[in-house]
Amino acid sequence: MSAKSGTGKPNIFPALKYSDGPAALKWLAMAFGFREHVSYPAPDGTIAHAQMTLGNGMIMLGSAGKPDPGNPWSTERRGIYVCVDDIEAHFARAKAAGAEIVRELADTDYGSREYSARDPDGHLWSFSTYKPWSDN
């Protein structure tokens, strides 16, 4: 159940949603020096998902979307995304500890297996097998 260890790369990523994702990509590069690692546009011209790096760090971001009761990430403005080695064991541990599971463990269309939960103060967390550093 350990985190991705020994890779030399972080496995915990701040995840942000912006009213205007494409403008945020440009602004974060101009103002803070972030570099676009990968960006996936949505059909409507917004950002479905993007990753930006600064030094050894990475953030994930996208455009805020329409509310989807099955996916709290559609409207949540910020959260934490964490890659773990053994997602099944991690999910079982979270459930046993009483975590509020807001998106059940499932396979995604982008090849990950993940779930989302809220901590006692309501912060959104996702745990996943997705490896963002492997994207081009």
Which one is predicted more confidently, 127 or 131?
127
Q: What tokens were used for 23?
A: 């403008």
> pLDDT tens-digit profile of 21-44?
999 999 999 988 899 999 999 999
Going by pLDDT thresholds of 50, 70 and 90, the confidence category of residue 69 is confident
Query: What pLDDT was estimated at residue 5?
Result: 47
Which one is predicted more confidently, 39 or 9?
39
Between 67-71, 98-102, 103-107, 127-131, the lowest mean confidence (pLDDT) is in: 67-71
Instruction: Compute φ and ψ for 29, nearest 5 degrees.
Output: -70, -50
For residues 114 and 129, is the Cβ–Cβ distance under 8 A? yes
Which one is predicted more confidently, 87 or 72?
87
CATH number of 12-134: 3.10.180.10
